[in-house]
């Protein structure tokens, strides 16, 4: 059976993040990708200039079309900018008993542009987090979800991850990419304990779509039947290599994308 993963997120017109990054990641990792577009963004490596929200009924129609025909084994949820979109996705997930839900609570683009309406944060807490197998916030996103200061150090990261577990998710991968230590450390926290995932911190401005890529890589692993711990370790390794290869691409004039196909394009 061909592994299938679904991304529910926003479209990035420059191709580095959102739906486009998710589908590239699925393909690079040997998973067939389907998509539900929840918003259109006009953006490039320098920033976001406009957002067009997809109507809730059309989001629902996309979800029904995919699940009624495809055997979806994992779902990655990214940018949902409005409460109406979050509600439509929640109802769709319940309607089709979706499993292996990876929630990336996208709030701000790499460029610094806000992607989430202020009143949508509470809807994410109430509706999506309790349905997720794992959520993947970076340090600012975790702080925003908890109305707390940004964590500094692994002890504070773990404490915030445990607080997020109380919102109903089964696991939290709190990402340390915004830190300033020589290592980029993520912590996977669930009821069983803490798994520390460390990689060398790579100095590059080409990090557009890093969070999207990590969460979709986890979903790809889950779609292939990996357990969460293995899927997360493999996803961390993939993203680290994609960042390391990012400077071999020449894309745009701002924060360029990762190299999703670093393995496939090696001989070109």
Q: Which residues are catalytic?
A: 175, 207, 209-212
Specify the DSSP class assigned to residue 208: B
CA 147 to chain CA centroid, Å, is: 21
Tokens of 228: 């969460």
How much is the CA Rg of the chain, to the nearest whole Å?
17
Where are the alpha helices (H) located in 9-82, listed in sequence order? 18-28, 56-67
Q: Listing from the earlier edge strand, what are the strands of the sheet with 47-53?
A: 47-53, 32-44, 4-12, 74-77, 101-103, 134-135, 171-174, 183-190, 193-200
240 and 214 Cβ atoms separated by less than 8 Å? no
Q: Which residue shows structure tokens 């197998």? A: 133
Residue (of 230, 260, 255, 231) closest to 243 by Cα position: 260
Tokens of 66: 């995919």
Specify the DSSP class assigned to residue 246: G
């Amino acid at each position: 059976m061909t592994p299938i993963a679904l991304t529910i997120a926003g479209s990035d017109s420059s191709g580095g993040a959102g739906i486009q990054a998710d589908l590239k990641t699925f393909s690079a990792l040997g998973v067939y990708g389907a998509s539900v577009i929840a918003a259109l963004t006009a953006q490039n490596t320098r920033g976001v200039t406009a957002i067009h929200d997809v109507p809730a009924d059309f989001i629902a129609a996309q979800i029904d079309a995919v699940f009624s025909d495809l055997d979806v084994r994992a779902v990655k949820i990214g940018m949902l900018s409005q409460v109406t979109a979050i509600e439509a996705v929640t109802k769709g997930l319940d309607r089709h008993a979706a499993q292996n839900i990876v929630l990336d609570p996208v709030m701000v683009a790499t460029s610094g542009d806000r992607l989430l309406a202020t009143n949508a944060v509470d809807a994410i807490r109430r509706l999506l987090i309790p349905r997720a197998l794992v959520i993947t916030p970076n340090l600012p996103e975790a702080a925003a979800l908890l109305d707390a200061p940004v964590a500094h150090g692994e002890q504070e990261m773990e404490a915030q991850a445990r607080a997020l577990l109380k919102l109903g998710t089964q696991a939290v991968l709190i990402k340390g990419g915004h830190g300033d230590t020589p290592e980029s450390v993520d912590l996977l926290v669930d009821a069983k304990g803490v798994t520390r995932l460390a990689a060398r911190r790579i100095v590059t401005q080409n990090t557009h779509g890093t969070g999207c890529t990590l969460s979709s890589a986890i979903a790809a692993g889950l779609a292939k039947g990996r357990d969460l711990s293995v899927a997360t370790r493999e996803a961390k390794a993939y993203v680290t290599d994609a960042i390391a290869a990012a400077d071999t691409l020449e894309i745009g004039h701002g924060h360029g994308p990762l190299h999703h196909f670093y393995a496939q394009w090696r001989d070109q």
